[in-house]
Amino acid sequence: MSQPLNFKDRTKVQFHFVVILTFNLLYNLIPFFALKKTFLKLFGIKIGRESYVHIPVKFFSVRDLDIGDNSTINPHCYLYARKKISIGNNVNIASNAKIYTLGHDIDSPDLPEVGAEVVIGDDVFIFSNAIIMPGVRVGQGAVVYPGSVVVKDVAPYTVVGGNPARYIRDRKKQEFDKSNYGFWFAQ
């Protein structure tokens, strides 16, 4: 079993959480999308043309987050980017969706952190209240239905749903419209 954190390590961890709390507070107070993008880029987040992260949103880390062109992350989403999150082009992530890259090894007595990168391909639609777990790859053109818990990779152009998410049907391969949600309160 691991030893409790000493004062120096606890202080370091607590400082990280204060920085993230401050980051979230500041981001959610910025009124204009152009300023929001600049703010994200200052912290090393890559965000493409015509892409938007609506408020309020909760970042748990700003370490590794890449958002492609023409993608939208709607209000109340969690982006737990302690490992890398890659979001492709023309992706819509609906309200209250959560993307996690880190968890705990529940089979170890000291519950060490374990995780892996999450990759979301182009033309993906993730509905409200979906949860994407660490290490998952959501293939191009896939759809994740509301409330789904995705624990395994999702094949391209498939529709999944449920807890755990299971294959429901194929999605027609087509050219998808490039929607633009660069206005306040878009959902």
Question: Among all residues, which ones are annotated catalytic?
Answer: 104
The span from the CA of 2 to the CA of 12, in Å, is 18
- Which helix (H) or strand (E) segment holds residue 80: the answer is strand 78-80
Q: Contact, 107 vs 125, CB < 8 A?
A: no
User: What does the alpha-carbon distance between residue 124 and residue 141 come to, in Å, rounded to a whole number?
Assistant: 5
Q: What is the SS3 string spanning 40-105?
A: HHHCCCEECCCCEECCCCEEEECCCEEECCCCEECCCCEEECCCCEEECCCCEECCCCEEECEEEC
